[in-house]
A and B are shown apart, each in its own frame.
Chain A
Amino acid sequence: MTAVNPPVASHRRRSAKAHRTRVWSGVIVCILFLLPLVWMLLTSFKQQRDIFSSPPSFIFEPTIAQYVDVLTRGGFAGQMLNTVIVAVGASVLSLIAGAMAGYALSRLRIRGAGVIGALILASRGVPPIALAVPMFLVARSLGITDTHITLIIAYCSFIVPYVMWLMRGFFLALPKELEESAMLDGCSRMGAFFRIILPISLPGLLSTFIFSIILAWEELLFALVLTNRNATTFPVAIAGMAGDTENGANWGALAAAGMITVIPVVILALLVQKWLIRGLAEGATKG
């Protein structure tokens, strides 16, 4: 922003300067926070000899060899597919259950809604490790370890409460007359919910859906415990790759795999950024 020529000179000039400092510091901090990702991007396109160089190479001949390698060798492509299946599956299931419950909490004056609200918050304090042992034992005795559906159901433990709370906020903002008039026309409450309320809450549903996907996308503990080959998701694979890497071994593969996992969620997050920020603020202040 250019400095204006103010009537009361010195004071305003000083504040214009302060404003410029503030803007530029903000930009610099933002760049600093993005640098690690830029570095991962660069590393993922490097050949091994450019990775092992001191000083680090900033200009080099790019190669997509690491990406080809990661996607064709080992099970990474399959693990990405598993992650997509599990994240989408858990989000759909959580969205159905959570949206209905969120509606009940927002609209129906169910007695004990306050208690349920407190329970939702308490559920976020439950350490996942306290759920992992029984989940593993039950899945093992049912013979359903290492399947997508087990992981999908397990992920509902942390996604459903979140969805309930977010959707409750969206529904609270809708006028009550909507479903009341539908119910006067002979619609059942369930019918009014599915035919009137859900369609107009589509933006809220969509952003909550994306929020859930991001939550499920990065989960490691349950994936470690409940899968071992067929249904393994990418965090398990990347934790292994990162754990193995010492002094440059495997960096290219790690960086390329990392980029592949980051790009889809970044696109999703940027698509719904306005809602995402609102959802975050809501989750923080009222959840």
Chain B
Amino acid sequence: MSVDSLKPNRSRTRRGAVVKDVISRWTFMVPAIVLLVAVLAYPLLYTLQISFSDFDLATFAPSSWAGTGNYEDALGDENFLNSLVVTGIYLVLALPLQIVLGFGIAFLLNAEWRGRGVVRALFLIPMVVAPVVSGGIWKIMLDPLWGVITWFLGLFGVQPIDWFGDAGMAMISIVIIDTWRSVPFVVLIAAAAMLALPKDVFEAASVDGANWWQTLKSISLPMLAPIIAATFIVRWLGAVKMFDVVVATTNGGPGQATNVVNLYIYRQAFQLLEFSTSSAMAIIVLVITMVLTFVFLWGSKKLEDRL
């Protein structure tokens, strides 16, 4: 059929061929579109519908229109608002830490020597450990009685810390575990980006006698800004889904201290069977995530334009 398009002198056949070609192009999209409509678009619309309906537990389907009642319930639920705050605290602690550590370590790893490839390959390993498994490992190591970290800190006279039992420490533990898993990801992206930087600029700076801090501030950071912003956005999109590590370690506790929003909504839906309210909560989280993602994208674009 595409051979037809080689005969430009007959316009009608040509138009037919073009139509055919456009159709053949779109056929490539069909399987993905069908799948994504089934598992993304349709479920989202269904969630939206449930969020505006009463839910009938007898038929297990949304029944009558409930207006914005479910949203009022959600926003009036103190524990839900608390879970948003908890998630916010986790993100504010974890994201900057992971970005700074990641780019710092990437700088160390990019030092030229024979073992560089090996070290970088080893850094892949924590990244592919399932979040639940990393939760398990750290639970073993941080145990206040028999944990190896408790013992190690004890060597320096540090009293055993109740890592998962204390509200503040539990959040810090979650951040540590997530950082252990996520920093290698940032490191690998950052290391690749740094290697791509033009070397001559740094040589020129060094010839001009710029010190370490001046080089970082005036050359490295501005040149890396776009990739830092991009890495931040990817990490943000991952971190905002935080669920697994919490389930494997604190299960939201103590009290509500680490009850991140995904866990809270999960419980509302599948333990309390509050499908309408939980759907409204999910939509609220979706909107917040989308708005913030948009703001971050816009910000990174602005940043790029300015440099």
Name A residues whose Cβ lies closer than 8 Å to a Cβ of B: 1, 19, 22-23, 25-27, 29-30, 33-34, 36-37, 39-40, 43, 51-56, 93-94, 96-98, 100-101, 103-104, 108, 110, 121-138, 140-141, 153-154, 156-157, 160-161, 164, 183-184, 186, 188-190, 193, 214, 217-218, 220-221, 224-225, 234-235, 238-239, 241-243, 245, 247-248, 251, 254-255, 258, 261-262, 265-266, 268-270, 273, 276-278, 280-281, 283-285, 287
When the two chains form their complex, are residues A108 and B28 in contact, meaning their CB atoms are under 8 A apart?
yes
- CB-CB under 8 A from A52, the residues of chain B are 146
Partner of A33, one of B183, B234, B293: B183
Q: A134 to B61, alpha carbons, bound, how many Å?
A: 10
- Given the known inter-chain contacts A125-B289, A248-B145, please indicate yes or no for A221 contacting B266, CB distance below 8 A: yes
- CB-CB under 8 A from B25, the residues of chain A are 104, 108, 110, 189
Q: Could you say which of B1, B6, B120, B125 has the most chain A C-beta atoms within 10 Å of its C-beta?
A: B125
When the two chains form their complex, are residues A110 and B130 in contact, meaning their CB atoms are under 8 A apart?
no
* Interface membership of B230, Cβ < 8 A: yes
Q: A125 to B233, alpha carbons, bound, how many Å?
A: 10
Question: Please, how many residues of chain B have a CB less than 8 angstroms from a CB on the other chain?
Answer: 104
* Interface membership of B19, Cβ < 8 A: no
Partner of A56, one of B43, B151, B183, B189: B151
List 16 A-B residue pairs with CB atoms under 8 Å apart, sorted by A's residue number.
A36-B138, A37-B129, A40-B140, A104-B28, A108-B25, A129-B262, A130-B283, A131-B47, A157-B39, A184-B3, A218-B130, A218-B133, A255-B137, A262-B129, A270-B125, A280-B188
Give the distance to chain A from B159, nearest Cβ to Cβ, in Å: 14
* Interface membership of B32, Cβ < 8 A: yes
When the two chains form their complex, are residues B126 and A220 in contact, meaning their CB atoms are under 8 A apart?
no
Give the distance to chain A from B281, nearest Cβ to Cβ, in Å: 8
Q: A141 to B60, alpha carbons, bound, how many Å?
A: 8
Q: A56 to B150, alpha carbons, bound, how many Å?
A: 10
- CB-CB under 8 A from A241, the residues of chain B are 136
Partner of A127, one of B28, B231, B285, B297: B285
Partner of A137, one of B60, B234, B297: B60
Give the distance to chain A from B196, nearest Cβ to Cβ, in Å: 9
